[in-house]
Amino acid sequence: MAFLELSIPCTEAEQPRIERALEDVGALSVTMVDAHADAPDEQAIFEPGVGQTPLWGEMVLTALFEGGTPSELLLHALSALDHGVDWSNASFREVDDQDWERAWMDQYEPLRFGERTWIVPWNHELPAEADTPDAAIVRLDPGLAFGSGTHPTTALCLRWLDQLAAEGVLQGERVLDFGCGSGILALAALKLGAATATGVDNDPQALAATADNAERNDLDDRLQVFLPADEPEARYPVVVANILASALVELVDVLAARVESGGRIALSGILAGQEDEVLAAYRPYFDPLRVEQSEDWIRIDGVRR
């Protein structure tokens, strides 16, 4: 089965009205990408801050319609619906049907972090190196949520958790994964010996992905997920927050309050050059604070005063 694909450039201000018009004329789906994704200075959005839905200043909206939909009729309907949009900028093409959410998984291979931690796609054969009694294996289906282990921010956190396990810090403890995405960090902590984990995210889709991955790993009885507004005000021996530097600074009081005295925290999603602001925000609460870099990304970890 083929689909008709409509693409139209727009600004952040125009995005809501254009998306609404596309949905009103029967779009099966609407997605958006950075209009300058190939530019050297493109604005990467890997994960929103809690309570935020960031967009690019200029983007391209792409809508799918049922195959056979007449493009001229579609433009006429859109123009009648919203005269203020220049629909002549729209382009069309036919695309073949495929499982869009699964296509990229064909290129996703098992990954190892530290000594024991393995992230393995749910439909991939377990590597021979991971077939050991002490391997911490997370079977993952990221779906549409952020967090597959391939990005340096996630990798930095996974290596940190693996090291905590080696030190005996995780065994039998409670862990908070703030900005849980696919649940990858909470699940890795449980596989590495944590007793229970709590995942918090502002995106309901992320919570659904986390719950699904927890069930896939037989950990659904040890992992709870919450929206930020519903999160219980508890304190944890181990807290990991893989979000963005701006959100980390904004949430310093919230996150510091979640860590027990003597507890550990890891902060990631920080671009190189942003670490000084994050360090200044967290220094009154944590000592020592340590910085580790991977490619252009920074992880900061410390111990609660």
Strand intervals (E) in 126-229: 136-140, 174-178, 196-200, 223-226
User: Are 161 and 268 part of one and the same domain?
Assistant: yes
Pick from 157, 165, 216: which is nearest to 190 by CA?
165
Pair 223, 256 in one domain: yes
Residue 124 lies in a domain: yes
One domain for residues 13 and 136: no
> Residue 20: pLDDT band by 50, 70, 90 thresholds?
very high
Does a structural domain hold residue 102? no
Same domain, yes or no: 23 and 132 = no
AA letter at 11: T
Domain boundary among 77, 96, 115: 96
As a dihedral over the C-alpha atoms of residue 273, residue 274, residue 280, residue 282, rounded to 10 degrees, the angle is -130
Using the 3D structure, point to which of 39, 64, 96 is the last residue of a domain. Answer: 96
In this model, does residue 224 exceed pLDDT 50?
A: yes
The pLDDT of residue 107: 55
Give the pLDDT of residue 150.
67
Token pair, residue 32, equals: 């958006």
pLDDT average, residue stretch 18-41? 77
Identify the weakest region by mean pLDDT among 53-67, 119-133, 203-217, 275-289: 53-67
Q: Is 181 annotated as a binding residue?
A: no
Judge if 193 and 259 occupy the same domain: yes
174 and 119 belong to one structural domain: yes
Q: Which residues contact 156 (CB under 8 A, 6 or more apart)?
A: 266, 268, 292, 294, 297, 298, 299
Q: Do residues 123 and 272 both lie within one domain?
A: yes
Q: Quick: pLDDT tens for 128-159.
A: 999 999 999 999 865 544 455 668 899 999 99
Residue 185 included in any domain? yes
Is residue 282 a contact partner of residue 304, using CB atoms and an 8 Å limit? no
In this structure, the answer to whether residues 85 and 166 fall within a common structural domain is no
Q: Is residue 218 part of a domain?
A: yes
Question: How crowded is residue 218: how many other Cβ atoms within 10 Å of its Cβ?
Answer: 10
* Last residue of one domain, picked from the residues 64, 96, 128: 96
pLDDT digits (tens, 9 = 90+) for 231-256: 998 999 999 999 989 999 999 999 99
Within this chain, do residues 170 and 279 fall inside the same structural domain, yes or no?
A: yes
Residue-level pLDDT at 67: 87
Among residues of the chain, what percentage have pLDDT more than 90? 66
Residues 121 and 85 placed together within one structural domain of the fold? no
User: Is residue 89 annotated as involved in ligand binding?
Assistant: no
**The pLDDT value given to residue 172:** 98
The reply to whether 292 falls in a domain is yes
Q: Is the pLDDT of residue 176 over 50?
A: yes
Q: What is the DSSP letter of 130?
A: G
Looking at the predicted structure, is the pLDDT value of residue 205 above 70?
A: yes
Do 122 and 231 lie in one domain? The reply is yes
Asked if the model's pLDDT at residue 45 lies above 90, the reply is: no
Average pLDDT over every residue of 24-42: 70
Do residues 179 and 286 both lie within one domain?
yes
Q: How confident is the model over 155-174, as a mean pLDDT?
A: 97
For residue range 86-101, what is the model confidence (pLDDT) as tens digits? Answer: 999 999 998 876 554 4
Q: What is the pLDDT of residue 144?
A: 44
Per-residue pLDDT, 56: 63
What is residue 24's predicted lDDT score, i.e. its pLDDT?
A: 92
In a domain, 101, yes or no: no
Residue 270, domain member (yes or no): yes
Q: Say how many domains are in the chain.
A: 2
DSSP 191-206: HTT-SEEEEE-S-HHH
Q: What per-residue confidence (pLDDT) applies to 12?
A: 84
pTM value > 0.85: no
Q: Which domain holds residue 146?
A: 107-304
Cα–Cα distance between 84 and 158 in angstroms, integer? 48
Ligand-binding site membership of 201 (annotated): yes
Question: Binding residue per annotation — 179?
Answer: yes
**85 assigned to some structural domain:** yes
CATH number for the domain including 39?
3.30.70.120
Tokens 């950075």 belong to residue: 34
